[in-house]
Amino acid sequence: MQDPISFIDLAAQQRRIRDRIDARLARIMDTGAYILGPDVKELEAALSDYAGLAHTLGCASGTDALMLPLMAWQIGPGDAVFVPSFTFAATAEVVALVGASPVFVDVLPDTFNMDPESLDRAILQIRDAGKLTPKAIIAVDLFGQIADYPSIRAIADTYGLKLISDAAQGFGSTLNGEQAGRFADVVATSFYPAKPLGCYGDGGAVQTDDAELDAIMRSLHVHGQGTDRYDNVRIGITGRLDTFQAAVLLEKLPLFDEEIAARQRVAEIYEKGLRDLVITPEIMDGAVSTYAQYTIRIRGGRRAQFMARMRDAGVPTVIYYGKPLHKQTAYLSYPVESGALPVCDALCEEVVSLPMHPYLERDTQQRIIDAARAALDDARAA
Ligand SMILES: *Cc1c(COP(=O)(O)O)cnc(C)c1O
């Protein structure tokens, strides 16, 4: 019997830092600093340093991190926020939660990220329709690859829109050495355990160079507090990052760059082993992906059979995402660029993600590649 293969292996990383995490958690229990303890401040400073941005606010989740800038800018009913449809629901959910309207935009077939031309058309369509006011764009760094920020920033500037980076999957990814914060007004990330930089529960962060925006978001994340804890100057939320999670992240952050490098090696091996049979991920020139997922495309309706064969061979595979957001029940009433998003629709039929994490060993990965090649042969013969 061969060892089972995990889709993501969090245990290998934990073995490297377990003692240090234990010590930090013990210190929190000794001092009782459960809410906004010193680890949160320390982490915020470390993350600002990592991203090269002036301000970082720890949040209870990536979803809160995405929602806080919308709240701070008072985006709400009658406003339009442009989002890709091929993403996790939270990207559009936060827009609806503040009462604004998500407007769904298509993605590029090679990078899976927001298509700047579709974005431009969507903005013009909304402007011409005259019912909603364009306010902001949320670009997603899907599967770890940074979005095409130079193009998207130019569009944001043309129409005077705010730009949020949903870096839940792509925190740490770069384009010509620069992270999303170089282009976006705000970067929101998630520390959900399965993300490239994950904690041991829920967590997130929102980062910006804008001191005033940071101050408003900081207030919003503790019930809109003013100068005094019981002086509420705006309607807010309970959006704090848990001190225990900050402690875990402080021990994980020093490993992060090394892990991103390890993910590149895993991706290269997949690329060499599979590119003649399937469509492997396309990375933009000058970009470094954090490979939150390693997602291939299988055409011709062979995906289900491929996944069944992989399961038989003991290899887990997952579909991210099987249905675009604009076709999900909760989002059916919101505008869609030109009424249809053909690339999002096609990708949802074709994508499948393979096991990917920085601790994937060479021989285990070879088993996955061998299984995939056999599964593709079977699927082709059928
Ligand atoms: C995970 C994720 C989020 C939300 O993060 P949570 O921490 O789970 O709230 C938002 N956007 C994208 C693209 C994600 O993958």
For ligand 1, say whether the CB of 87 is within 6 Å of any of its atoms.
yes
Do 301 and 193 fall into the same domain? Answer: no
Mutational test site, ligand 1, from 112, 166, 289, 318, max ligand atoms within 8 Å of CB? 166
Do 164 and 243 fall into the same domain? Answer: yes
Do 264 and 242 fall into the same domain? Answer: no
Do 214 and 278 fall into the same domain? Answer: no
For ligand 1, say whether the CB of 190 is within 6 Å of any of its atoms.
yes
Q: How much is the pTM?
A: 0.97
Q: Are 43 and 246 in contact (CB under 8 A)?
A: yes
Report yes or no on 224 lying in a domain. Answer: yes
Q: Where is the domain boundary, 205, 221, 253?
A: 253
Q: Find out whether the peptide bond into 321 is cis, omega within 30 degrees of 0.
A: yes
Do 244 and 303 fall into the same domain? Answer: no
In ligand 1, the atom with minimum distance to the C-alpha of 87 is 13
- Helices 243-252 + 38-51 axis angle, to 10: 40
Do 293 and 234 fall into the same domain? Answer: no
For ligand 1, say whether the CB of 60 is within 6 Å of any of its atoms.
no
The neighbour count for residue 252, using CB atoms within 10 Å, is 21
Report yes or no on 3 lying in a domain. Answer: no
In ligand 1, the atom with minimum distance to the C-alpha of 66 is 10
Tell me, in angstroms, the distance from the centre of ligand 1 to residue 298's CA: 25
Write out the residue range of the structural domain in which residue 329 sits: 255-376
- In this structure, the residue with its CA closest to atom 5 of ligand 1 is 62
Report yes or no on 5 lying in a domain. Answer: no
Do 359 and 212 fall into the same domain? Answer: no
The neighbour count for residue 29, using CB atoms within 10 Å, is 11
Do 235 and 295 fall into the same domain? Answer: no
State how many domains the chain has: 2
pLDDT for the residue 228 = 80
Cα Dmax for the chain: 70
Tokens of 99: 């009462």
Tell me, in angstroms, the distance from the centre of ligand 1 to residue 140's CA: 10
Q: What are the residue numbers of the active site?
A: 195
In ligand 1, the atom with minimum distance to the C-alpha of 91 is 11
CA angle (58, 62, 66) in 5-degree steps? 95
Enclosing H/E stretch for 351: strand 351-354
For ligand 1, say whether the CB of 204 is within 6 Å of any of its atoms.
yes
- Picking from 131, 83, 75, 122, the residue whose alpha carbon sits closest to that of residue 99 is 75
Mutational test site, ligand 1, from 94, 95, 97, 169, max ligand atoms within 8 Å of CB? 169
For ligand 1, say whether the CB of 293 is within 6 Å of any of its atoms.
no
Tell me, in angstroms, the distance from the centre of ligand 1 to residue 88's CA: 6
Report yes or no on 1 lying in a domain. Answer: no
- Picking from 147, 168, 167, 363, the residue whose alpha carbon sits closest to that of residue 266 is 363
Do 100 and 227 fall into the same domain? Answer: yes
Pairing of strands 204-208, 186-190: antiparallel
Cα 222 from Cα 213, distance rounded (Å): 15
Instruction: Please count the CA atoms within 13 angstroms of the CA of 25 that sit on its side-chain side.
Output: 12
pLDDT tens digit at each of 382 positions of the chain: 577 899 999 999 999 999 999 999 999 999 999 999 999 999 999 999 999 999 999 999 999 999 999 999 999 999 999 999 999 999 999 999 999 999 999 999 999 999 999 999 999 999 999 999 999 999 999 999 999 999 999 999 999 999 999 999 999 999 999 999 999 999 999 999 999 999 999 999 999 999 999 999 999 999 999 988 788 999 999 999 999 999 999 999 999 999 999 999 999 999 999 999 999 999 999 999 999 999 999 998 999 999 999 999 999 999 999 999 999 999 999 999 999 999 999 999 999 999 999 999 999 999 999 999 999 987 666 5
Q: Are 173 and 49 in contact (CB under 8 A)?
A: no
Report yes or no on 38 lying in a domain. Answer: yes
DSSP string, 268-282: HHHHHHHTTTSBPPP
Cα 34 from Cα 25, distance rounded (Å): 10
Report yes or no on 129 lying in a domain. Answer: yes
User: What's 296's domain CATH number?
Assistant: 3.90.1150.10
pLDDT for the residue 225 = 94
Distance of CA 230 to the CA centre of its chain: 34
List the end-to-end C-alpha distance of the chain, in Å, as a whole number.
28
Mutational test site, ligand 1, from 70, 192, 221, 240, max ligand atoms within 8 Å of CB? 192
For ligand 1, say whether the CB of 171 is within 6 Å of any of its atoms.
no
